[in-house]
Structure 1
Amino acid sequence: MRRIYFLVPDIAITKRIVDELLLARIDERHIHVVAKRGTELEDLPEANLLQRTDFIPAVERGLALGGSAGALAGLVALALPPASTVIAGGVLLASALAGAGVGAWAGGLIGVSTASSRIKQFEAAIEAGQLLVLADVPKSRVEDIEARIKAHLPTVEIEGTEPIIPAFP
């Protein structure tokens, strides 16, 4: 899956883009609209916390760092003299899992309080009244969807795409 970003000047054109995406068989749950606080989106699918913040990337980083730190702590426990290999192996696994859990939790807390780094670059345009439409589409359909939107709405700015598949599956 890829996320396509469209910067749109007003609600009317945003509705047309959402309709065009729906006609292209993109599920509504894969369409998200970001607007200035207080903007009435009517029946448009508003972006939720997961799209507006860096929650998922922060959890991924916390999971990796915490798991690594836990595994390192387990290796240190393995090196201690009274530990047998059976017990030390369990300690290594338990400490890696505990570290990953704590890292994911801490990363999530940080990520939920941090605005999305990708959306942050559109902050000025959003505050000026423009809307940002995020559409998660299959990788094979990105060019088709972009061409379809440009054909029907040539004034819409396509701001690029990015993968939404997590770095750590």
Structure 2
Amino acid sequence: MRRRIYWLLPDLACARKTMDDLLLARIQEQHIHFVAREGTDLTGLHEANILQTSDVVRAAQAGLVIGGASGAVLGALAAVYFPIVGEQPQWGIAAVLAMAGAVFGAWSASLIGVSTPSHRLERFTKAIDEGQILLMVDVPRSRVDEIEQRLQALHPEAHLEGVEPDIPAFP
């Protein structure tokens, strides 16, 4: 299980040095993510992708649940009131419509979520707009204190913004 540590860095030079220090601390590049205002050249830094900067995962999960439930209800109604063969309810149609509803719900909700900024990053919007760079580093639970202390010692100009108790498994 990993924890996500948030840091606000004042400029690109500090971000590049922090990236090097994290690599020297044996944090893999895939676990280091930088977010800056649009147009900032993050060459040499591992920029956060759409999964980390948008609400696509959260929206897809909600769409999956809502679509699946809606499909199950419609399927149950169809099975009872509109049986395909005979007069007995056809419960298979309920399962099929539940799965189809879940897939459609996840797909349609993710289309909305990809254009919505992440609710996890809302509190950093003002700082990012002012030119600061957000660092998100995912570390094993056992190394959180070590990495925090290391970055505080090497980068007093950076600000620790907290640790997220759990990070999504997917992004």
- TM-score in same-fold range (> 0.5): yes
Q: Which of 91, 94, 98 is the matching residue for 2:93?
A: 91
3-state DSSP class of the match of 1:154?
A: coil
Identity over the aligned pairs, expressed in percent?
47
Question: What aligned pairs does 1:18-167 form with structure 2 within 5 A after superposition?
Answer: 18-80=19-81, 82=83, 84=88, 87-88=90-91, 90-162=92-164, 163-165=166-168
**1:22 deviation in Å?**
1.4
C-alpha separation between the residues in 1 aligned to 2:105 and 2:7?
A: 33
**1:8 deviation in Å?**
0.6
Q: Is the 8 A contact 2:80 2:88 kept in 1?
A: no
* Structure 1 pair 130–55 and aligned structure 2 pair: CA distance change class (3 A): same
3-state DSSP class of the match of 2:160?
A: strand
3-state DSSP class of the match of 1:32?
A: strand
Q: Using structure 2 for the length normalisation, give the TM-score.
A: 0.86
* Structure 1 pair 138–153 and aligned structure 2 pair: CA distance change class (3 A): same
* Structure 1 pair 95–126 and aligned structure 2 pair: CA distance change class (3 A): same
C-alpha separation between the residues in 1 aligned to 2:35 and 2:49?
A: 9
Which residue is 1:7 aligned to?
Answer: 8
**1:69 deviation in Å?**
1.3
Structure 2: gaps of 5 or more residues? none
3-state DSSP class of the match of 1:158?
A: strand
**1:81 deviation in Å?**
6.7
* Structure 1 pair 166–91 and aligned structure 2 pair: CA distance change class (3 A): farther
3-state DSSP class of the match of 1:122?
A: helix
* Structure 1 pair 22–73 and aligned structure 2 pair: CA distance change class (3 A): same
3-state DSSP class of the match of 1:13?
A: helix
C-alpha separation between the residues in 1 aligned to 2:75 and 2:33?
A: 42
Structure 1: gaps of 5 or more residues? none
Q: Using structure 1 for the length normalisation, give the TM-score.
A: 0.87
- Cα displacement string for residues 48-106 of structure 1 (whole angstroms, at most 9, x for unaligned residues): 21111111111111111111111222222333274535x31x21211111111011011
- CA root-mean-square deviation: 1.9
